[in-house]
Amino acid sequence: MGLFKDFKEDFADAVDDLTGEEKETQDDVMVNTLEEDVDVDSELNKLDGLLEQVASKVSEPTTLKEKDVKIERAETAPVMREDNRMEENTTSTFTDASIDATNVSDEVAEITRGMVITGDMESSGSINVEGTVKGNVKCNGKLVVNGAIKGNSVSSEFFADNAKIEGEVNTTGTAKIGAGSVIVGNIAATSAVIAGAVKGDIDVQGPVVVDTSAVVMGNIKSRSVQINNGAVIEGLVSQAYADVDIQSVFDIDNK
């Protein structure tokens, strides 16, 4: 037993010596990646100063110079309100009555029923108005009105059905005024079919058809006029754009 006890103690001492040597070896080995000694306190002071500068920059309000930022303000920028109505921020004038017929997109803007827009509207496509627009409307495509417009309109084609319009209607194509529609304003178009009520002058380069249910209070100037039985017209009807030279017809001296 004494032999084994002595062997156990010697073996434990050997293990302790070996472990201590390895620990001292690991403690003594240190890789210095810096070429020279670093003053830790000095570096920390520098870091503290940098943090103070960053904090002061963050706390300062950020200002943008006008020359650095280009801001585009739309003249008729509508703003949605909580009651599903839209209001424009600034007032604008509607002076350009021309459209670009060569730049007509396929998009269709929908003004749904119950929506009220205050301000001018302009689109490169078509516009369907089922709600109310209190402003001028301009589109390169077709303008369909089933609601109300209080303003002038310019389009490549115009169609009104049960619509209420207070303003001039200008179109480079056909103007169709369906039964039940009421327009208070002049109409200018290439051709026209009137089945509703119009209070204003109608100036059409081509033919005009005044249907049975039509009521027109104003002058009609066109190339040709077809008035169906039952239509009511209070005003002058002139075929000023006809190819016939009316003066020559009545020039008896030269015949």
Question: Between β-strands 153-155 and 137-139, what pairing exists: parallel, antiparallel or unpaired?
Answer: parallel
Alpha-carbon distance 158 to 96, whole Å?
A: 17
Query: Residues of 47-76 as b/e, b for ≥16 C-beta within 10 angstroms?
Result: eeeeeeeeeeeeeeeeeeeeeeeeeeeeeb
pLDDT digits (tens, 9 = 90+) for 187-225: 999 999 999 999 999 999 999 999 999 999 999 999 999
Q: What is the band of 173 on the pLDDT scale with cuts at 50, 70, 90?
A: very high
What are 148's two structure tokens? Answer: 């109300």
All residues at 6 or more sequence positions from 190 whose CB lies less than 8 Å from its CB, including other chains? 171, 172, 173, 174, 204, 205, 206
| Mean per-residue pLDDT, 144-148 | 97
| Choice between 9 and 124, residue whose per-residue pLDDT is larger | 124
Question: How do residues 176-194 score in pLDDT, each as one tens digit?
Answer: 999 999 999 999 999 999 9
Instruction: Tell me the two tokens of residue 108.
Output: 């269709």
Specify the higher pLDDT residue, 41 or 117: 117
Cα 205 to its chain centre, rounded Å, is: 33
Q: pTM higher than 0.95 for the full model? A: no
Q: Decide which of 48 and 183 is more confident.
A: 183
Q: Is the pLDDT of residue 96 over 50?
A: yes
Looking at the predicted structure, is the pLDDT value of residue 83 above 90? no
